[in-house]
Structures are given as C-alpha cells and as structure tokens.
Amino acid sequence: MSADPAPSSGPGRTRGHEPARPQAKSAGSAVPGPGATPEDAQGLALAAAAGIHRLAIPTPFQVGRVNAYLIEDSPLTLVDSGPNSAKALDELEQALGALGHAIEDIELLIVTHQHIDHFGLASILARRSGAEVAALDRLAPYLARFGEQTELDDLFAERIMLRHGIPPDIVTALRAVSASFRAWGSAVEVTRPLADGTELRLRDRTLRVIHRPGHSPSDTVFLDESSSILLAADHLIKHISSNPLLARPLGADVDDADRSRSGERPQALVTYLASLRLTREMELSLVLPGHGQPISDHVSLIDERFRLHERRAAKIGRLIAAEPLTAHEIAQALWGNVAVTQAYLTLSEVLGHLDLLLNDGRAAELDTDGVSRFRAA
C-alpha cells in the first residue's frame, strides 16, 4: 500500500463522492476558518480590500465547504453559488447578510464550471434575485439541460469504468450513487454566455474570462485585472491537488465520447497540466480557489503539483513494469479500498498518469475482450 494520499480533491464531482462527515462550522466572509494561518487571513483581507469576499458554503460532499465569492461592485456579483440545498441557501443568506446584502440584491451570478457543488443553487438564486447568469459559452447548453447532460456523463463514465476493469456490480452501485447526487444540482439558464478571452466589465473592474480546462472540461478562471487577483475555482486548490476528472467532452454525444481507449480517450490530466503551465506564467497577487484558503504563491504551488504528478506517473510506471495491469488494478495497488468506494475518481487519476506515460512512449495499452491493460514499453 502506498504512502501517497488518496486522490482527494473530489470537488464537485457527480460521481465518487461519499457523503461528508459533519464539518466544523466555518462559514462567514472574513472568517478564515479552522486551521487558517495568519497568511490565510492576510489573503482574505487583501481580497476584501479589493471588494471580493469569500463565502464558505456547506456541501454534503467529502470535499467540505465550497467558496463562493461576492464581488461588491456594480452589478453586485456572486461567483458560484454552492450546491442546491436548504442548508447551503440558508448559510449563503446569512453570509450575504453579514456583508449587508440579501439574495435579492445579487445582479450577476457567475458559474465557474460544471460541478454541482459550485452551481447547484444558481437557478434558485437567479429566480429570487432576477440576476443575470454568466458562464463560458460552451458550458451554457450543459447547464440548461443539466439532467439530460449528467445522464450522458454517467453513461460515458460507465463505459470507461467497464473498459478499465471495474467490476459491473460496482459500476451499477456507483450509478445509483451518482443519480442520488443529482438532486444537489439544478438546470439553470445562462443569460450571458462568455467567450474565452473576453472581458466582463463591472463598474470598478474588468474581469478577464479565461478557459482553463482539465479539472473539468468547462473550468473558467476570472482575472480581476486591476488587482491581479485570480478567481480560480477548482483549477488550483491549496490543500489538495485538484483532481482532473475524466469527463465527457462538452457537447459530445455518448457514442462520440465513448473513446475509452488510449489515443481516443479525453486526456484530462494532460489538459490540466497544460492549463496549469499557462496559469504559472501569470503575474498574480493572489489566487482565490473554490475550496479552502487563498494562495499567495501560485508558482510554488503549481511547481509542487508538477512534481506530484511526475512522482505518481513514475510510481505507476514501476507497477506496470512488473506485470500488465488494468487501470482499476493500479488504483487498488495505490489506494486499496478507496479505489472501490471512489472508483471513478481513482480511475481518472490513474488514467491521467497513464496518459502521460503513453504519450512519452513509456507505456502501451493492450486490449483483451474490450478490457484495457497497461504494460511498460
């Protein structure tokens, strides 16, 4: 068994989540929360000085709270909403109230990506406030037909899981779990589709819209150009490595997306690392993530992530040098029972690193009766 931590970022995925243990209460805008360092408090204060306030909203997922951000500007803007639950709505309302605002005051709601812990409440908030809803243009059809789209995601995941050695009974069980999580999401109509690279102008600032896929196909980060603060959602998280979940490409139908074999499979980790390299080059004063504390030194954190992924790829390379293995067998060797309870999550993690090895010619994929095994090349 490995000393590596299990892949744990788990933010907002619709599969593989376990209901969380009760979380310590830590909401509130300027409250750094338990375990926060003076540096964390300083980061939040810097953001607040730029009119950006963190609202830590509870989720039922293992990842814990999700960060929404209120931008006190005109229009009054909320970046992400939290999941679709009464508890999330209640705490959001309280956190807004502590800043002197009500849900009805929100004028613009920004959705950062397609995970339900981030956008589940958006439709309720939009209905109550009349706010415009802004998101990446390519994400809009997904959000509008959320139920149908997650069905397709599940079908895609099912095919991937069967091809990569997860037993059918586990696949069936995971589908049921995923269906039960769907209630924390909700379809929402995007009224302001945003093109990659464009500007979102507020009275006191300009937000640059930047597509940085990898953690999910729709990850969008927003650069406040006046303060050099990056609203990064799950693109970069301080306390956990953001997990590039293998996902159906936006807009792909299932047969299109049933590219479960190498060469055809979407390469989430490869995409993610390319996105991180672009973010690494940015001059930033602060990164505000979708979970946890602000990041003041994004370059060091990103370099740390590069090293983590290299180490993990090397380790997987050693495992398959001994004998050909399915991705699920590799996940079990690395994480034991977590590879069963979080089967899709761990499978995504392994496949991501196998992609790195395959692309470098360090691994080969063999097909036996529709199941892929990997060997060292």
Rule CB under 5 A: which residues touch Zn ion? Answer: 11-12, 115, 234
Token duo for residue 183: 């209630």
Nearest approach in angstroms of CB 234 to Zn ion is 4
Residue 128 phi, psi dihedral angles, 5° rounding: -70, -35
Nearest 5 degrees, angle CA 163-CA 165-CA 169?
A: 100
Nearest approach in angstroms of CB 67 to Zn ion is 11
Per the CB < 8 A criterion, the answer to whether 332 and 3 are in contact is: no
- Cβ proximity to Zn ion: between 136 and 330 the closer is 136
Q: Which residues contact 3 (CB under 8 A, 6 or more apart)?
A: none
Distance of alpha carbon 143 from alpha carbon 348, whole angstroms: 23
- Cβ proximity to Zn ion: between 351 and 357 the closer is 351
Nearest approach in angstroms of CB 81 to Zn ion is 13
Handedness of CA 202, 207, 209, 214 (dihedral sign): negative
- Cβ proximity to Zn ion: between 20 and 376 the closer is 20
Distance of alpha carbon 88 from alpha carbon 62, whole angstroms: 15
Q: Which residue has the tokens 């969008």?
A: 220
Termini Cα distance of the chain: 24
Give the DSSP H/E element, type plus range, for residue 281: none
Nearest approach in angstroms of CB 319 to Zn ion is 28
Nearest approach in angstroms of CB 228 to Zn ion is 23
- Residue 74, Cβ density class (10 Å: 0-12 exposed, 13-18 middle, ≥19 buried): exposed
- Cβ proximity to Zn ion: between 224 and 234 the closer is 234
Nearest approach in angstroms of CB 116 to Zn ion is 9
Token duo for residue 291: 């979970």
Nearest approach in angstroms of CB 245 to Zn ion is 8
Residue type, 365: E
- Cβ proximity to Zn ion: between 115 and 164 the closer is 115
- Cβ proximity to Zn ion: between 234 and 329 the closer is 234
- Cβ proximity to Zn ion: between 290 and 294 the closer is 290
